[in-house]
């Protein structure tokens, strides 16, 4: 639980988080209006990785915000591991190496990877043709 709090605190410092905060009700962090999930993954070698996903949706016409990011964990140090992005549809299911010697984060619908960090999400395109309301 301590790691999850560290990761959430690091996410709240990011410019992308602050940009969403500017559109939310003043006085409280926007992530409190929704669901926050953190998964910590310990690779066989290297530093643990934390993936955080925040999704706040107060209904049609009201505040909506989502953000996800990968952080490298090194003791008490939490370092951004790639570009923050909109939240993917699911949480990660594991870490894999697709043969290039770098770790990729596996989702049921795709892979998060990148040459300089976790900043490229390759997904299957599954159309959703209904209203989310």
Domain range list for the chain: 2-91
The CA distances from residue 56 to 33, 62, 92, 120, 126, in Å, are: 5, 10, 19, 23, 22
Confidence of residue 132 (pLDDT cuts 50, 70, 90): low
Q: Class for domain 2-91, per CATH?
A: alpha beta
The CA distances from residue 121 to 51, 102, 107, 116, in Å, are: 13, 15, 10, 13
Lowest mean pLDDT among 17-26, 61-70, 83-92: 83-92
Confidence of residue 17 (pLDDT cuts 50, 70, 90): very high
pLDDT at 133: 65
d(CA 123, CA 81): 19
Lowest mean pLDDT among 14-23, 26-35, 115-124: 115-124
Sheet strands (E) in 29-76: 35-41, 49-57, 64-74
Q: Is 33 helix (H, G, I), strand (E, B) or coil?
A: helix
> What is the average per-residue pLDDT within 83-88?
84
Q: Structure pTM? A: 0.84
């Amino acid at each position: 639980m301590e790691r999850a709090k560290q990761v959430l605190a690091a996410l709240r410092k990011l410019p992308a988080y602050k940009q969403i905060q500017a559109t939310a009700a003043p006085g409280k962090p926007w992530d409190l209006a929704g669901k926050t999930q953190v998964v910590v993954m310990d690779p066989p070698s290297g530093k643990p990785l934390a993936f955080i996903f925040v999704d706040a949706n107060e209904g049609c016409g009201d505040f909506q915000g989502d953000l996800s990011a990968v952080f490298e964990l090194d003791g008490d140090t939490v370092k951004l591991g790639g570009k923050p992005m909109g939240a993917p549809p699911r949480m990660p299911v594991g870490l894999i190496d697709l043969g290039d010697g770098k770790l990729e984060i596996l989702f049921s619908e795709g892979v998060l990877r990148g040459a300089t960090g976790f900043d490229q999400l390759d997904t299957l395109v599954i159309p959703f043709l209904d209203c989310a309301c």
